[in-house]
Structure 1
Protein backbone atom coordinates (compact mmCIF):
# COMPACT_ATOMS: atom_id res chain seq x y z
CA UNK A 1 0.00 0.00 0.00
CA UNK A 2 1.21 3.51 -0.78
CA UNK A 3 1.85 5.06 2.63
CA UNK A 4 2.14 8.61 1.25
CA UNK A 5 -1.36 8.38 -0.22
CA UNK A 6 -2.73 6.97 3.02
CA UNK A 7 -1.08 9.77 5.03
CA UNK A 8 -2.39 12.44 2.63
CA UNK A 9 -5.95 11.10 2.87
CA UNK A 10 -5.55 11.04 6.63
CA UNK A 11 -4.87 14.78 6.57
CA UNK A 12 -8.18 15.37 4.79
CA UNK A 13 -9.97 13.41 7.52
CA UNK A 14 -8.78 15.92 10.13
CA UNK A 15 -11.16 18.59 8.81
CA UNK A 16 -14.68 18.70 10.28
CA UNK A 17 -17.70 20.95 10.67
CA UNK A 18 -16.12 22.36 13.82
CA UNK A 19 -12.64 22.62 12.28
CA UNK A 20 -13.10 23.89 8.73
CA UNK A 21 -9.71 25.59 8.68
CA UNK A 22 -6.46 24.22 10.10
CA UNK A 23 -2.87 25.50 10.22
CA UNK A 24 0.20 23.51 9.26
CA UNK A 25 1.10 23.17 12.95
CA UNK A 26 -2.35 21.88 13.85
CA UNK A 27 -2.35 19.37 10.99
CA UNK A 28 1.14 18.15 11.82
CA UNK A 29 0.26 17.78 15.51
CA UNK A 30 -3.08 16.00 14.93
CA UNK A 31 -1.56 13.61 12.37
CA UNK A 32 1.61 12.95 14.31
CA UNK A 33 3.74 13.95 11.31
CA UNK A 34 6.82 16.10 11.20
CA UNK A 35 6.05 19.55 9.81
CA UNK A 36 8.17 19.09 6.64
CA UNK A 37 6.33 15.83 5.84
CA UNK A 38 2.93 17.38 6.48
CA UNK A 39 3.83 20.43 4.40
CA UNK A 40 4.93 18.26 1.45
CA UNK A 41 1.67 16.28 1.49
CA UNK A 42 -0.44 19.41 1.97
CA UNK A 43 1.26 21.05 -1.00
CA UNK A 44 0.43 18.03 -3.18
CA UNK A 45 -3.19 18.06 -2.04
CA UNK A 46 -3.38 21.81 -2.73
CA UNK A 47 -1.92 21.37 -6.21
CA UNK A 48 -4.56 18.73 -7.02
CA UNK A 49 -7.40 20.95 -5.76
CA UNK A 50 -8.24 18.89 -2.66
CA UNK A 51 -7.11 21.71 -0.36
CA UNK A 52 -7.12 25.50 -0.57
CA UNK A 53 -4.54 27.64 1.21
CA UNK A 54 -5.75 30.82 2.88
CA UNK A 55 -2.90 33.23 3.61
CA UNK A 56 -4.01 36.20 5.69
CA UNK A 57 -0.38 37.11 6.46
CA UNK A 58 2.95 35.34 6.96
CA UNK A 59 1.95 34.31 10.49
CA UNK A 60 -1.61 33.25 9.65
CA UNK A 61 -1.69 30.57 6.95
CA UNK A 62 -4.53 28.06 7.02
CA UNK A 63 -5.86 25.21 4.88
CA UNK A 64 -9.43 24.32 4.07
CA UNK A 65 -11.00 21.60 1.91
CA UNK A 66 -10.92 22.41 -1.80
CA UNK A 67 -13.61 22.45 -4.46
CA UNK A 68 -12.28 19.27 -6.06
CA UNK A 69 -13.89 17.34 -3.21
CA UNK A 70 -17.19 19.04 -4.00
CA UNK A 71 -16.90 17.84 -7.61
CA UNK A 72 -16.23 14.27 -6.48
CA UNK A 73 -18.99 14.43 -3.89
CA UNK A 74 -21.49 15.55 -6.50
CA UNK A 75 -20.63 12.51 -8.61
CA UNK A 76 -21.32 10.21 -5.68
CA UNK A 77 -24.56 12.06 -4.96
CA UNK A 78 -25.63 11.64 -8.58
CA UNK A 79 -25.11 7.86 -8.37
CA UNK A 80 -27.06 7.71 -5.11
CA UNK A 81 -29.87 9.72 -6.67
CA UNK A 82 -29.81 7.50 -9.75
CA UNK A 83 -30.17 4.34 -7.65
CA UNK A 84 -32.95 5.74 -5.46
CA UNK A 85 -34.92 6.90 -8.50
CA UNK A 86 -34.33 3.78 -10.57
CA UNK A 87 -34.95 1.09 -7.95
CA UNK A 88 -38.78 1.38 -7.60
CA UNK A 89 -39.17 1.36 -11.38
CA UNK A 90 -36.74 -1.55 -11.71
CA UNK A 91 -38.87 -3.48 -9.23
CA UNK A 92 -41.96 -2.76 -11.31
CA UNK A 93 -40.23 -3.97 -14.44
CA UNK A 94 -38.93 -7.14 -12.78
CA UNK A 95 -42.36 -7.96 -11.37
CA UNK A 96 -43.89 -7.39 -14.81
CA UNK A 97 -41.52 -9.59 -16.84
CA UNK A 98 -40.22 -11.83 -14.00
CA UNK A 99 -36.57 -11.52 -15.00
CA UNK A 100 -33.53 -10.01 -13.29
CA UNK A 101 -33.02 -6.27 -13.85
CA UNK A 102 -29.68 -4.46 -13.46
CA UNK A 103 -28.53 -0.86 -13.37
CA UNK A 104 -25.09 -0.47 -14.94
CA UNK A 105 -22.77 2.55 -14.99
CA UNK A 106 -19.37 3.37 -16.44
CA UNK A 107 -16.34 3.58 -14.14
CA UNK A 108 -13.25 4.60 -16.11
CA UNK A 109 -12.61 1.62 -18.44
CA UNK A 110 -15.11 -0.82 -16.91
CA UNK A 111 -18.84 -1.23 -16.44
CA UNK A 112 -20.11 -1.61 -12.87
CA UNK A 113 -23.44 -3.15 -11.82
CA UNK A 114 -24.67 -0.81 -9.08
CA UNK A 115 -28.21 -2.11 -8.51
CA UNK A 116 -30.08 -5.37 -9.05
CA UNK A 117 -33.64 -6.67 -8.70
CA UNK A 118 -33.86 -10.45 -8.60
CA UNK A 119 -36.40 -12.63 -10.41
CA UNK A 120 -38.66 -15.23 -8.78
CA UNK A 121 -37.75 -17.77 -11.44
CA UNK A 122 -36.18 -21.04 -10.27
CA UNK A 123 -33.40 -20.77 -12.87
CA UNK A 124 -31.43 -17.57 -12.28
CA UNK A 125 -28.26 -15.93 -13.51
CA UNK A 126 -25.52 -15.37 -10.97
CA UNK A 127 -24.80 -11.66 -10.80
CA UNK A 128 -24.08 -9.30 -7.93
CA UNK A 129 -24.06 -5.60 -7.16
CA UNK A 130 -20.48 -4.42 -7.59
CA UNK A 131 -19.73 -6.80 -10.46
CA UNK A 132 -17.34 -5.28 -13.01
CA UNK A 133 -17.26 -6.12 -16.71
CA UNK A 134 -15.09 -5.28 -19.67
CA UNK A 135 -16.77 -2.81 -22.02
CA UNK A 136 -16.68 -5.17 -25.03
CA UNK A 137 -18.77 -7.90 -23.38
CA UNK A 138 -22.46 -7.79 -22.52
CA UNK A 139 -25.29 -5.53 -23.62
CA UNK A 140 -25.00 -3.02 -20.74
CA UNK A 141 -21.25 -2.45 -21.01
CA UNK A 142 -21.34 -2.17 -24.82
CA UNK A 143 -24.24 0.27 -24.69
CA UNK A 144 -22.35 2.53 -22.27
CA UNK A 145 -19.27 2.38 -24.51
CA UNK A 146 -21.37 3.20 -27.58
CA UNK A 147 -22.69 6.48 -26.19
CA UNK A 148 -19.33 7.90 -25.12
CA UNK A 149 -17.87 10.79 -27.13
CA UNK A 150 -16.09 9.36 -30.15
CA UNK A 151 -12.60 10.40 -29.09
CA UNK A 152 -13.00 8.94 -25.61
CA UNK A 153 -14.55 5.74 -26.98
CA UNK A 154 -11.73 5.28 -29.49
CA UNK A 155 -9.09 5.75 -26.79
CA UNK A 156 -10.71 3.03 -24.67
CA UNK A 157 -10.98 0.62 -27.60
CA UNK A 158 -7.32 1.10 -28.47
CA UNK A 159 -6.32 0.00 -24.97
CA UNK A 160 -8.52 -3.12 -24.92
CA UNK A 161 -7.18 -6.65 -24.72
CA UNK A 162 -9.96 -8.87 -26.00
CA UNK A 163 -10.47 -12.08 -24.02
CA UNK A 164 -12.85 -14.82 -25.13
CA UNK A 165 -15.24 -15.47 -22.24
CA UNK A 166 -17.41 -17.64 -24.51
CA UNK A 167 -17.50 -18.47 -28.20
CA UNK A 168 -19.82 -15.46 -28.67
CA UNK A 169 -17.59 -12.81 -27.06
CA UNK A 170 -16.46 -10.00 -29.37
CA UNK A 171 -12.98 -10.90 -30.66
CA UNK A 172 -11.47 -7.65 -31.92
CA UNK A 173 -11.89 -3.90 -32.35
CA UNK A 174 -13.44 -4.14 -35.82
CA UNK A 175 -16.22 -6.43 -34.58
CA UNK A 176 -16.82 -4.15 -31.61
CA UNK A 177 -17.01 -1.03 -33.77
CA UNK A 178 -19.60 -2.69 -36.00
CA UNK A 179 -21.70 -3.61 -32.97
CA UNK A 180 -21.39 -0.03 -31.67
CA UNK A 181 -22.67 1.24 -35.02
CA UNK A 182 -25.70 -1.06 -34.75
CA UNK A 183 -26.38 -0.10 -31.13
CA UNK A 184 -26.40 3.62 -31.93
CA UNK A 185 -28.56 3.03 -34.98
CA UNK A 186 -31.24 1.03 -33.13
CA UNK A 187 -30.96 2.76 -29.74
CA UNK A 188 -30.46 -0.34 -27.59
CA UNK A 189 -28.08 -3.29 -27.17
CA UNK A 190 -28.61 -7.05 -27.18
CA UNK A 191 -26.05 -9.68 -26.25
CA UNK A 192 -26.39 -13.43 -26.59
CA UNK A 193 -24.16 -15.73 -24.59
CA UNK A 194 -21.25 -13.26 -24.46
CA UNK A 195 -20.51 -13.60 -20.74
CA UNK A 196 -22.42 -16.83 -20.03
CA UNK A 197 -23.59 -19.31 -22.64
CA UNK A 198 -27.34 -19.66 -23.12
CA UNK A 199 -28.17 -16.19 -21.80
CA UNK A 200 -29.54 -13.02 -23.34
CA UNK A 201 -29.08 -9.44 -22.20
CA UNK A 202 -31.15 -6.47 -23.34
CA UNK A 203 -30.13 -2.92 -22.40
CA UNK A 204 -31.54 0.57 -22.98
CA UNK A 205 -29.91 3.93 -22.18
CA UNK A 206 -30.86 6.09 -19.20
CA UNK A 207 -30.26 9.81 -19.73
CA UNK A 208 -30.21 12.72 -17.31
CA UNK A 209 -31.24 16.37 -17.66
CA UNK A 210 -28.13 17.10 -19.76
CA UNK A 211 -29.27 14.42 -22.26
CA UNK A 212 -26.09 12.41 -21.53
CA UNK A 213 -26.32 8.64 -21.10
CA UNK A 214 -25.56 8.03 -17.41
CA UNK A 215 -26.50 4.36 -17.07
CA UNK A 216 -27.80 1.29 -18.84
CA UNK A 217 -31.00 -0.47 -17.77
CA UNK A 218 -30.41 -4.17 -18.35
CA UNK A 219 -32.65 -7.22 -18.35
CA UNK A 220 -30.95 -10.61 -18.38
CA UNK A 221 -32.17 -14.18 -18.46
CA UNK A 222 -31.87 -17.58 -20.13
CA UNK A 223 -32.41 -17.53 -23.90
CA UNK A 224 -34.75 -20.51 -23.48
CA UNK A 225 -37.06 -18.33 -21.40
CA UNK A 226 -36.72 -15.02 -23.26
CA UNK A 227 -37.37 -16.58 -26.65
CA UNK A 228 -38.24 -14.87 -29.94
CA UNK A 229 -41.87 -14.60 -28.90
CA UNK A 230 -41.13 -12.82 -25.60
CA UNK A 231 -38.10 -10.79 -26.67
CA UNK A 232 -40.16 -8.04 -28.29
CA UNK A 233 -42.27 -7.61 -25.15
CA UNK A 234 -39.19 -7.47 -22.91
CA UNK A 235 -37.59 -4.86 -25.17
CA UNK A 236 -40.68 -2.69 -25.16
CA UNK A 237 -41.11 -2.77 -21.38
CA UNK A 238 -37.39 -2.21 -20.73
CA UNK A 239 -37.38 0.77 -23.10
CA UNK A 240 -40.46 2.22 -21.41
CA UNK A 241 -38.90 1.85 -17.96
CA UNK A 242 -35.59 3.40 -19.08
CA UNK A 243 -37.53 6.41 -20.41
CA UNK A 244 -39.45 6.73 -17.13
CA UNK A 245 -36.22 6.71 -15.12
CA UNK A 246 -34.72 9.26 -17.53
CA UNK A 247 -37.75 11.51 -17.08
CA UNK A 248 -37.32 11.32 -13.27
CA UNK A 249 -33.70 12.46 -13.79
CA UNK A 250 -34.90 15.50 -15.74
CA UNK A 251 -34.50 14.24 -19.30
CA UNK A 252 -36.94 15.95 -21.66
CA UNK A 253 -35.76 14.93 -25.13
CA UNK A 254 -38.59 12.56 -25.92
Structure 2
Protein backbone atom coordinates (compact mmCIF):
# COMPACT_ATOMS: atom_id res chain seq x y z
CA UNK A 1 0.00 0.00 0.00
CA UNK A 2 1.05 3.59 -0.60
CA UNK A 3 2.39 4.72 2.78
CA UNK A 4 2.16 8.42 1.92
CA UNK A 5 -1.55 8.07 1.18
CA UNK A 6 -2.09 6.15 4.43
CA UNK A 7 -0.20 8.78 6.44
CA UNK A 8 -2.20 11.58 4.82
CA UNK A 9 -5.54 9.92 5.51
CA UNK A 10 -4.56 9.23 9.11
CA UNK A 11 -4.15 12.96 9.59
CA UNK A 12 -7.88 13.35 8.97
CA UNK A 13 -8.55 11.06 11.94
CA UNK A 14 -6.93 13.64 14.23
CA UNK A 15 -9.99 15.86 13.82
CA UNK A 16 -12.88 14.99 16.14
CA UNK A 17 -16.09 16.47 17.49
CA UNK A 18 -14.08 18.16 20.23
CA UNK A 19 -11.07 19.00 18.06
CA UNK A 20 -12.35 20.84 15.02
CA UNK A 21 -9.15 22.83 14.41
CA UNK A 22 -5.48 21.92 14.69
CA UNK A 23 -2.29 23.82 13.97
CA UNK A 24 0.55 22.45 11.89
CA UNK A 25 2.64 22.06 15.04
CA UNK A 26 -0.15 20.13 16.80
CA UNK A 27 -0.72 17.85 13.83
CA UNK A 28 2.98 17.08 13.47
CA UNK A 29 3.21 16.28 17.20
CA UNK A 30 0.05 14.14 17.34
CA UNK A 31 1.03 12.21 14.20
CA UNK A 32 4.65 11.88 15.34
CA UNK A 33 5.89 13.31 12.05
CA UNK A 34 8.61 15.80 11.18
CA UNK A 35 7.06 19.20 10.58
CA UNK A 36 8.12 19.34 6.87
CA UNK A 37 6.56 15.91 6.27
CA UNK A 38 3.34 16.91 7.98
CA UNK A 39 3.23 20.13 5.96
CA UNK A 40 3.69 18.22 2.68
CA UNK A 41 0.87 15.80 3.51
CA UNK A 42 -1.41 18.59 4.68
CA UNK A 43 -0.73 20.56 1.49
CA UNK A 44 -1.83 17.56 -0.58
CA UNK A 45 -5.04 17.22 1.42
CA UNK A 46 -5.67 20.95 1.15
CA UNK A 47 -5.21 20.91 -2.64
CA UNK A 48 -7.98 18.29 -2.89
CA UNK A 49 -10.28 20.27 -0.53
CA UNK A 50 -10.11 17.62 2.19
CA UNK A 51 -8.70 20.30 4.49
CA UNK A 52 -9.09 24.06 4.76
CA UNK A 53 -6.10 26.13 5.91
CA UNK A 54 -6.21 29.36 7.89
CA UNK A 55 -2.87 31.17 7.87
CA UNK A 56 -1.72 32.02 11.38
CA UNK A 57 1.76 33.37 10.70
CA UNK A 58 4.80 32.66 8.56
CA UNK A 59 5.59 29.72 10.80
CA UNK A 60 2.24 28.10 11.52
CA UNK A 61 -1.33 27.59 10.25
CA UNK A 62 -4.61 26.18 11.50
CA UNK A 63 -6.48 23.46 9.62
CA UNK A 64 -10.11 22.42 9.50
CA UNK A 65 -11.86 19.62 7.63
CA UNK A 66 -12.71 20.72 4.11
CA UNK A 67 -15.82 20.83 1.96
CA UNK A 68 -14.84 17.71 0.00
CA UNK A 69 -15.58 15.55 3.04
CA UNK A 70 -19.03 17.10 3.29
CA UNK A 71 -19.67 16.29 -0.37
CA UNK A 72 -18.52 12.69 0.10
CA UNK A 73 -20.55 12.36 3.29
CA UNK A 74 -23.67 13.54 1.48
CA UNK A 75 -23.00 11.05 -1.30
CA UNK A 76 -22.69 8.21 1.20
CA UNK A 77 -25.91 9.27 2.95
CA UNK A 78 -27.76 9.40 -0.36
CA UNK A 79 -26.45 5.98 -1.33
CA UNK A 80 -27.40 4.47 2.02
CA UNK A 81 -30.91 5.90 1.81
CA UNK A 82 -31.40 4.67 -1.75
CA UNK A 83 -30.01 1.21 -0.93
CA UNK A 84 -32.16 0.92 2.19
CA UNK A 85 -35.32 1.85 0.30
CA UNK A 86 -34.57 -0.22 -2.80
CA UNK A 87 -33.31 -3.48 -1.29
CA UNK A 88 -36.63 -5.10 -0.22
CA UNK A 89 -38.15 -4.26 -3.62
CA UNK A 90 -35.08 -5.70 -5.37
CA UNK A 91 -35.36 -8.90 -3.34
CA UNK A 92 -39.02 -9.24 -4.23
CA UNK A 93 -38.27 -8.64 -7.93
CA UNK A 94 -35.41 -11.17 -7.97
CA UNK A 95 -37.66 -13.76 -6.37
CA UNK A 96 -40.44 -13.07 -8.88
CA UNK A 97 -38.39 -13.21 -12.09
CA UNK A 98 -35.51 -15.45 -10.90
CA UNK A 99 -32.81 -13.15 -12.32
CA UNK A 100 -30.06 -11.02 -10.78
CA UNK A 101 -31.07 -7.47 -9.87
CA UNK A 102 -28.67 -4.54 -9.53
CA UNK A 103 -28.88 -0.94 -8.39
CA UNK A 104 -26.54 1.37 -10.31
CA UNK A 105 -25.85 5.09 -9.78
CA UNK A 106 -23.76 7.69 -11.63
CA UNK A 107 -20.65 9.03 -9.90
CA UNK A 108 -17.79 11.05 -11.37
CA UNK A 109 -18.53 10.02 -14.96
CA UNK A 110 -18.72 6.34 -14.03
CA UNK A 111 -21.48 3.89 -13.14
CA UNK A 112 -21.21 2.43 -9.62
CA UNK A 113 -23.04 -0.71 -8.46
CA UNK A 114 -24.29 0.03 -4.93
CA UNK A 115 -26.61 -2.95 -4.33
CA UNK A 116 -27.14 -6.43 -5.77
CA UNK A 117 -29.47 -9.39 -5.30
CA UNK A 118 -28.16 -12.58 -6.93
CA UNK A 119 -30.27 -14.95 -8.96
CA UNK A 120 -30.89 -18.40 -7.52
CA UNK A 121 -29.75 -19.83 -10.82
CA UNK A 122 -26.23 -21.20 -11.14
CA UNK A 123 -24.98 -18.23 -13.19
CA UNK A 124 -22.88 -15.62 -11.43
CA UNK A 125 -22.34 -12.33 -13.25
CA UNK A 126 -19.19 -10.21 -13.08
CA UNK A 127 -20.72 -7.60 -10.80
CA UNK A 128 -20.21 -6.72 -7.16
CA UNK A 129 -21.24 -3.97 -4.79
CA UNK A 130 -18.79 -1.10 -5.22
CA UNK A 131 -17.82 -2.02 -8.78
CA UNK A 132 -17.26 0.94 -11.11
CA UNK A 133 -18.01 0.60 -14.81
CA UNK A 134 -17.84 2.77 -17.90
CA UNK A 135 -21.06 4.58 -18.73
CA UNK A 136 -20.59 3.38 -22.32
CA UNK A 137 -21.21 -0.33 -21.70
CA UNK A 138 -24.27 -2.17 -20.39
CA UNK A 139 -27.93 -1.31 -20.01
CA UNK A 140 -27.64 0.29 -16.55
CA UNK A 141 -24.67 2.54 -17.31
CA UNK A 142 -26.10 3.56 -20.70
CA UNK A 143 -29.45 4.42 -19.15
CA UNK A 144 -27.67 6.70 -16.69
CA UNK A 145 -25.65 8.25 -19.52
CA UNK A 146 -28.84 8.87 -21.52
CA UNK A 147 -30.20 11.03 -18.70
CA UNK A 148 -27.10 13.16 -18.20
CA UNK A 149 -26.98 16.69 -19.67
CA UNK A 150 -25.55 16.71 -23.19
CA UNK A 151 -22.35 18.50 -22.14
CA UNK A 152 -21.66 15.78 -19.58
CA UNK A 153 -22.46 13.11 -22.15
CA UNK A 154 -19.87 14.63 -24.48
CA UNK A 155 -17.23 14.56 -21.72
CA UNK A 156 -17.93 10.87 -21.04
CA UNK A 157 -18.02 9.84 -24.68
CA UNK A 158 -14.82 11.64 -25.68
CA UNK A 159 -12.90 10.52 -28.74
CA UNK A 160 -12.68 7.10 -30.37
CA UNK A 161 -16.43 6.46 -30.12
CA UNK A 162 -19.01 6.63 -32.89
CA UNK A 163 -20.75 9.62 -31.33
CA UNK A 164 -23.70 9.79 -33.74
CA UNK A 165 -24.49 6.09 -33.37
CA UNK A 166 -24.29 6.29 -29.58
CA UNK A 167 -26.28 9.54 -29.50
CA UNK A 168 -29.08 7.83 -31.47
CA UNK A 169 -29.00 4.95 -28.98
CA UNK A 170 -29.25 7.34 -26.03
CA UNK A 171 -32.20 9.12 -27.66
CA UNK A 172 -33.93 5.76 -28.11
CA UNK A 173 -33.35 4.91 -24.44
CA UNK A 174 -34.97 8.16 -23.32
CA UNK A 175 -37.91 7.75 -25.73
CA UNK A 176 -38.72 4.13 -24.89
CA UNK A 177 -38.08 4.60 -21.16
CA UNK A 178 -35.61 1.75 -20.64
CA UNK A 179 -32.24 0.41 -21.83
CA UNK A 180 -31.56 -3.01 -23.30
CA UNK A 181 -28.18 -4.62 -23.93
CA UNK A 182 -26.94 -8.02 -25.10
CA UNK A 183 -23.47 -9.36 -24.33
CA UNK A 184 -21.94 -5.97 -23.55
CA UNK A 185 -20.58 -6.75 -20.09
CA UNK A 186 -20.78 -10.54 -19.96
CA UNK A 187 -20.96 -12.94 -22.95
CA UNK A 188 -24.37 -14.53 -23.64
CA UNK A 189 -26.11 -12.26 -21.12
CA UNK A 190 -28.84 -9.67 -21.47
CA UNK A 191 -29.50 -6.63 -19.32
CA UNK A 192 -32.65 -4.51 -19.00
CA UNK A 193 -32.70 -1.29 -16.98
CA UNK A 194 -35.36 1.20 -15.92
CA UNK A 195 -34.76 4.62 -14.34
CA UNK A 196 -35.28 5.48 -10.69
CA UNK A 197 -36.43 9.06 -10.14
CA UNK A 198 -36.28 11.24 -7.02
CA UNK A 199 -38.82 13.88 -5.97
CA UNK A 200 -37.10 16.42 -8.25
CA UNK A 201 -37.81 14.09 -11.20
CA UNK A 202 -34.08 13.53 -11.61
CA UNK A 203 -32.78 10.09 -12.53
CA UNK A 204 -30.73 9.01 -9.51
CA UNK A 205 -30.20 5.38 -10.41
CA UNK A 206 -30.90 2.47 -12.70
CA UNK A 207 -32.70 -0.70 -11.68
CA UNK A 208 -31.05 -3.40 -13.75
CA UNK A 209 -32.01 -7.03 -14.34
CA UNK A 210 -29.38 -9.33 -15.88
CA UNK A 211 -29.22 -12.98 -16.86
CA UNK A 212 -28.52 -15.49 -19.59
CA UNK A 213 -29.89 -14.24 -22.91
CA UNK A 214 -31.92 -17.38 -23.69
CA UNK A 215 -34.17 -16.58 -20.69
CA UNK A 216 -34.90 -13.09 -22.05
CA UNK A 217 -37.29 -14.10 -24.82
CA UNK A 218 -41.01 -14.30 -25.54
CA UNK A 219 -43.47 -14.10 -22.66
CA UNK A 220 -40.68 -14.30 -20.08
CA UNK A 221 -39.08 -11.17 -21.52
CA UNK A 222 -42.39 -9.33 -21.32
CA UNK A 223 -42.80 -10.42 -17.69
CA UNK A 224 -39.27 -9.27 -16.81
CA UNK A 225 -39.86 -5.87 -18.39
CA UNK A 226 -43.23 -5.41 -16.71
CA UNK A 227 -42.06 -6.44 -13.23
CA UNK A 228 -38.85 -4.37 -13.47
CA UNK A 229 -40.81 -1.32 -14.65
CA UNK A 230 -43.28 -1.66 -11.76
CA UNK A 231 -40.48 -2.11 -9.23
CA UNK A 232 -38.59 0.94 -10.50
CA UNK A 233 -41.77 2.98 -10.15
CA UNK A 234 -42.37 1.72 -6.60
CA UNK A 235 -38.83 2.65 -5.55
CA UNK A 236 -39.17 6.06 -7.20
CA UNK A 237 -42.45 6.63 -5.36
CA UNK A 238 -40.71 5.92 -2.05
CA UNK A 239 -38.15 8.58 -2.98
CA UNK A 240 -40.95 11.12 -3.40
CA UNK A 241 -41.52 10.84 -7.14
CA UNK A 242 -45.22 11.52 -7.74
CA UNK A 243 -45.84 12.92 -11.20
CA UNK A 244 -46.34 10.29 -13.90
CA UNK A 245 -43.31 10.48 -16.17
CA UNK A 246 -43.33 9.43 -19.82
CA UNK A 247 -40.92 6.65 -18.90
CA UNK A 248 -43.63 5.12 -16.75
CA UNK A 249 -46.81 6.15 -18.53
CA UNK A 250 -45.50 4.93 -21.92
CA UNK A 251 -43.22 2.02 -21.08
CA UNK A 252 -43.44 0.42 -24.56
CA UNK A 253 -43.46 -3.08 -23.15
Q: TM-score, normalised by structure 2?
A: 0.84
- Map 1:231-242; keep pairs closer than 5 Å: 231-242=221-232
Residues 1:151 and 1:201: Cα distance change in structure 2 (over 3 Å): same
Structure 2: 5+ residue stretches without partners: 245-253
Number of the residue aligned with 1:228 = 218
Residues 1:52 and 1:95: Cα distance change in structure 2 (over 3 Å): same
Residues 1:32 and 1:126: Cα distance change in structure 2 (over 3 Å): same
Number of the residue aligned with 2:164 = 174
Q: Deviations over 1:119-171 (max 9, x none)?
A: 223x4242331333332221111111111110010111114x56xxxxxxxxx
Using the alignment, how far apart are the partners of 1:139 and 1:186 within structure 2? 13
SS of the counterpart of 2:125? Answer: coil
Say yes or no: does 1:246 pair with 2:230: no
Number of the residue aligned with 1:128 = 127
Residues 1:137 and 1:44: Cα distance change in structure 2 (over 3 Å): closer
Residues 1:33 and 1:204: Cα distance change in structure 2 (over 3 Å): same
Q: RMSD between aligned alpha carbons?
A: 2.6
Residues 1:82 and 1:226: Cα distance change in structure 2 (over 3 Å): same
Say yes or no: does 1:115 pair with 2:115: yes
SS of the counterpart of 2:15? Answer: coil
Higher deviation after alignment, 127-136 or 11-20: 127-136
Residues 1:109 and 1:61: Cα distance change in structure 2 (over 3 Å): closer
Using the alignment, how far apart are the partners of 2:35 and 2:83 within structure 1? 43
- 1:114, CA displacement in angstroms? 2.0
Q: Deviations over 1:57-76 (max 9, x none)?
A: 99995322223311211111
Using the alignment, how far apart are the partners of 2:5 and 2:186 within structure 1? 38
Number of the residue aligned with 2:158 = 158
Q: Deviations over 1:22-56 (max 9, x none)?
A: 22211011122222332344345345432234578
Does structure 1 conserve the Cα–Cα contact (< 8 Å) formed by 2:125 and 2:186?
A: no
